[in-house]
């Protein structure tokens, strides 16, 4: 039932005309504009708190993928640190039996949401992490997640792509030049 509801909501968003979508955007902007400074500050604080919480507990998508993979009986380590010797690097999801890392990269990995300096630091860090993992023989699945609306259907679709990729890795571990897989 939940999946049918999620599919219906996703379909209704996709069926919006550009004009209808823009109307919803304008309505949200007007709502923001009509807030007091205190209400805006409280909302911004709440958003910052949510980002900090997600960095510890994982994003909604990370947890969704984690739960799906565990239901399929994969051994998955969540927010694993110390995977490489002498490195404090943390990976989102690690499948030790497959020597495979899954990184789910949200908008802050591609857009200057927190400023240009933070974006540059994220890009550098992602490239270094990927390089270190690949040179140590790991397969790395990087999920580019830029969706404006994260629905259950969207999370299922991404998880299905990850699961298909993992099945391919299970059947045959990728050659050295094909160990970086982008979704």
* Token pair recorded at residue 152: 């259950």
Give me the helices (H) in 58-174, please. Answer: 60-71, 116-135, 152-171
pLDDT per residue over 68-113, tens digit each? 999 999 999 999 998 887 678 899 999 999 999 999 998 888 888 7
pLDDT of residue 173: 98
In sequence order, what are the beta bridge partners of 94?
77, 101
* Token pair recorded at residue 15: 């069926």
pLDDT of residue 148: 67
Closest among 182, 161, 181, 148 to 64, alpha carbons compared = 161
Torsion sign (Cα): 8, 10, 13, 14: negative
Q: What's the pLDDT band for 66 if we cut at 50, 70, 90?
A: very high
Closest among 167, 178, 175 to 95, alpha carbons compared = 167
Helix, coil or strand: residue 21: helix
pLDDT per residue over 143-163, tens digit each? 998 876 788 899 999 999 999
pLDDT of residue 112: 85
Torsion sign (Cα): 59, 65, 68, 74: negative
pLDDT per residue over 3-57, tens digit each? 787 778 778 878 889 998 889 889 989 998 999 999 988 888 887 777 777 767 7
**Sole residue written with tokens 């789910």:** 104
pLDDT of residue 103: 97
Q: pTM for the whole thing?
A: 0.73
pLDDT of residue 180: 98
């Amino acid at each position: 039932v939940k999946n049918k509801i999620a599919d219906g909501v996703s379909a209704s968003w996709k069926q919006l005309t550009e004009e209808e979508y823009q109307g919803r955007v304008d309505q949200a902007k007007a709502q923001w504009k009509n807030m007091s400074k205190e209400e805006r500050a409280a909302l911004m604080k709440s958003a910052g708190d949510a980002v900090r919480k997600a960095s510890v507990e994982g994003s909604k998508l990370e947890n969704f993928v984690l739960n799906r993979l565990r239901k399929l009986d994969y051994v998955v380590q969540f927010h694993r640190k110390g995977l490489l010797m002498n490195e404090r690097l943390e990976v989102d999801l690690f499948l030790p039996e497959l020597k495979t890392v899954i990184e789910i990269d949200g908008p802050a990995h591609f857009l200057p949401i927190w400023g240009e300096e933070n974006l540059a630091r994220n890009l550098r860090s992602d490239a270094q992490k990927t390089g270190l993992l690949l040179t140590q023989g790991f397969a790395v699945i990087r999920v580019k997640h830029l969706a404006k609306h994260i629905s259950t259907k969207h999370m299922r679709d991404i998880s299905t792509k990850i699961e298909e990729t993992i099945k391919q890795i299970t059947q045959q571990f990728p050659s050295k030049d094909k160990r970086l897989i982008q979704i």
